[in-house]
Amino acid sequence: MIFELASMESQFCVICGQSTSLYNYGTISCSACSSFFRRTVLAKVPIQQCPHQDACYTPENRATHSECKYCRFHKCVDVGMINTQKYTNLTKLINQLSVLDKKRSYTCANMMLPPDFRLSSIFDYEHIKLIKKTPEVRFISHDWGCVHQLASMEFIKTFQFVKFLSLQDLQVFMKTAHFNHVIFASAMRSFGIRQGYLSFPDGSDVFPECIKKITCYNPEFLNRIRCKLMGRIIELNINPEEYLLLSAIILCNPAAVNLSVKGRTLISSYQKVYGSLLFQYCCQVNKKNGPLRFSELLTIFHAISQTHHDIGQFFLLFQMYQPNAQPIQLYQEVIDYMM
């Protein structure tokens, strides 16, 4: 939406510094910058990385480096264009997320790593190629864990903001963001089949079978991992639409260590967009207590991060007490990278 400034006074575009009297996406910005922003958001391909140390659209440099799309776009994000844009339609977004989540769920239940799988393929924008599991293949917990993690990473790669992250940011972001999503999606699968504890799609326990031979694991600790988050989901009775929007918020986690400032700003801008869409949804569905429902739903993040922390503790114990029960080298690499 474009507005002319009331006074018709000439001001300066906050992106490129050109004189303008227009107001677009909540900022004083010229028509060239606002149409650049719209085109970039809608483009399907990743944005080209900056050739000049990510510093082209500063007031000092923008005259000489105006061709850099990466810095121009991130300048648009920095001044708040993502937060104010209304390109996201709630119903359409829920439908899109639902299709992608079904695909993720299918991958978790039916796919496996190909024999020539290389860990490096996780690290780029391309999709990971998994193969269909044949009926004679029997998964152990490490197989399930790997496939769930890869399926969540593929799910992350379908989000719009991923194509605006530098490759380095994408790698540190996925490492941090995906595991909370794995936990939440697995818990919601169990909830969907009215089961009060975490398990894998074939009904097997989330812990390796061999832990039963060793007594170092406190059964209450293991049950906390299996059941605590489930308890909170059951209390909140999270519906499928709420789950999808919460998933999007969980994924846009700007807290990853070593993210660049541009990457962090981008991810938190998208998190705000998904947060406001969940708020909008809660208010549409719960006419009287939408804001209350919204804040109740956000408490799930605490339960997820507690479970994440407990699983981390479990893996530490597992590596200490059962070094011989470690998975094959490739799986170990995948797990080490992703934990």
Q: Where do contacts with Zn ion occur on this chain (CB under 5 A)?
A: 13, 15-16, 18, 30, 33, 50, 52, 56, 68, 71
Least separation in angstroms between CB 255 and Zn ion: 25
CA nearest neighbour of 3 among 31, 33, 24, 29: 24
**3-class DSSP state for residue 327?**
coil
Nearer to Zn ion, 15 or 183 (CB): 15
Q: How far apart are CA 205 and CA 198, in angstroms?
A: 7
**3-class DSSP state for residue 30?**
coil
Judged on CB neighbours under 10 Å (0-12, 13-18, 19+), 193 is exposed
Q: How far apart are CA 57 and CA 54, in angstroms?
A: 8
Q: How far apart are CA 210 and CA 318, in angstroms?
A: 10
In degrees and rounded to multiples of 5, residue 62 shows phi and psi of: -65, -25
Q: How far is CA 312 from CA 101, 222, 319, in A?
A: 25, 12, 11
Nearer to Zn ion, 30 or 250 (CB): 30
Least separation in angstroms between CB 265 and Zn ion: 15
Least separation in angstroms between CB 173 and Zn ion: 20
Nearer to Zn ion, 52 or 129 (CB): 52
Nearer to Zn ion, 33 or 122 (CB): 33
Least separation in angstroms between CB 61 and Zn ion: 8
Nearer to Zn ion, 101 or 169 (CB): 169
Least separation in angstroms between CB 279 and Zn ion: 31
